[in-house]
Amino acid sequence: MAFHRPKISVFGAGFVGATVAQRCADRELGDVLLIDIVEDMPQGKGLDMFESSPVERFDARVNGSNKPADVAGSDVVVVTSGIARKPGMSRDDLLTTNAKIVQSVADSIREHAPNAIVIMVTNPLDVMSWVAHKRLGFPKNRVMGMAGVLDSARMASFVAMELNCSVKDISPMVLGGHGDTMVPLPRYTTVSGIPITDLLPADRIEAINDRTRKGGAEIVALLKTGSAYYAPGSSVVAMVESIVKDQRRILPTCALLEGEYGLKDTWQGVPCMLGKNGIEKIYELKLNDAEQKLLATSNEHVAGAIRQAAQLLGM
């Protein structure tokens, strides 16, 4: 029987897309294709990455293309296409431009890779996941957004800084939309099984929560000419790996909710099992009244942005 190496395609060969491609190749998750509208740029990056394989000792082909049709045969498609935030911009400021880009990309995926699992990264993440799902017409288990892994990673980083401990033993959890209304959950964030509510005073936990919510803006302000890409790239790769290896990891994922958490027809970050079929299961955490209220507030923000996008795009 012929060996099938998974094909992972990445729309957008900028900083995030290139980081995803390199780390997928490094981990030998599959052959990687970078697709971008900038002539010859993805080809150059792909060739450069492949030329690193004899040194890094990975077996994965990395190619670049300017033709969206080359996405054909992809098992997983990651969408990073769109403009990035600049200082002073919110993720929602990107809505108009990026929604049109995502529609075009979704058309290419639907036509050429109808069986792919799609991971959205383009901001504003929750709305772009909605746009892609509507345009693709794929079942909900095969369309998702990367946000919660990144937000949780930021929370874990700040917990490690606060406790001066290894990041390896921290299991964080952040729910909600990918923005200022996201919902860090200290009760469900543990260090070797110990909730951080038992390890840190309330004021330090609230400081961590606040920095987590503003984590993306902090990077944007420091970089001044773009947004984060190393941590977002790694977060995407964790999701890709769980899918192509059928690891069935439970990761916070932007998913279509149809009654879970009391929310319907909306996209929110919630714990999901990711495997060969995409989202295998959505888990409902038991939230207290304060946490449920925060999630409702996050959902109101996302729902409002989705209504704005629907009106703008006539969807």
Measure the CA–CA gap between 292 and 9, rounded to whole angstroms: 37
Catalytic site residue from 112, 133, 178, 301? 178
How do residues 135-174 score in pLDDT, each as one tens digit?
A: 999 999 999 999 999 999 999 999 999 999 999 999 999 9
Show Cβ contacts of residue 202 under 8 Å, excluding neighbours closer than 6 positions.
none
State the number of CA atoms in the 13 A half-sphere of 245 facing the CB: 12
Strand partners, 62: 32
Element (H, E) at 62: strand 62-65
Gyration radius from the chain CA atoms: 19
Measure the CA–CA gap between 209 and 297, rounded to whole angstroms: 16
Measure the CA–CA gap between 264 and 261, rounded to whole angstroms: 9
How do residues 8-24 score in pLDDT, each as one tens digit?
A: 999 999 999 999 999 99
The length of the chain, given as a count of residues:
315
* Ordered structural domains, the chain, with CATH: 7-145 (3.40.50.720), 148-313 (3.90.110.10)
pLDDT category of residue 29 using cuts at 50, 70 and 90: very high
Measure the CA–CA gap between 64 and 66, rounded to whole angstroms: 7
Measure the CA–CA gap between 240 and 27, rounded to whole angstroms: 11
- The SS3 call for residue 29 is coil
Which residue has tokens 């998702």?
144
Measure the CA–CA gap between 188 and 182, rounded to whole angstroms: 15
Question: And the tokens for 230?
Answer: 């190393």
- 178 assigned to active site: yes
Measure the CA–CA gap between 194 and 197, rounded to whole angstroms: 8
Instruction: Write down the pLDDT at residue 131.
Output: 96
How high does pLDDT run on average in the chain? Answer: 95
How do residues 210-241 score in pLDDT, each as one tens digit?
A: 999 999 999 999 999 888 999 999 999 999 99
pLDDT at 1 over 80: no
First to last CA, the chain: 45
pLDDT category of residue 3 using cuts at 50, 70 and 90: low
Give the residue-averaged pLDDT of 282-301.
96
**pTM summary value:** 0.95
Give the residue-averaged pLDDT of 262-266.
94
Q: E strands along 66-211, which residues?
A: 76-79, 117-120, 143-145, 170-171, 174-175, 183-184, 190-191, 194-195
How do residues 77-97 score in pLDDT, each as one tens digit?
A: 999 998 876 777 666 677 888
Side chain identity at 110, as an amino acid letter?
A: R
Question: And the tokens for 171?
Answer: 């299991």
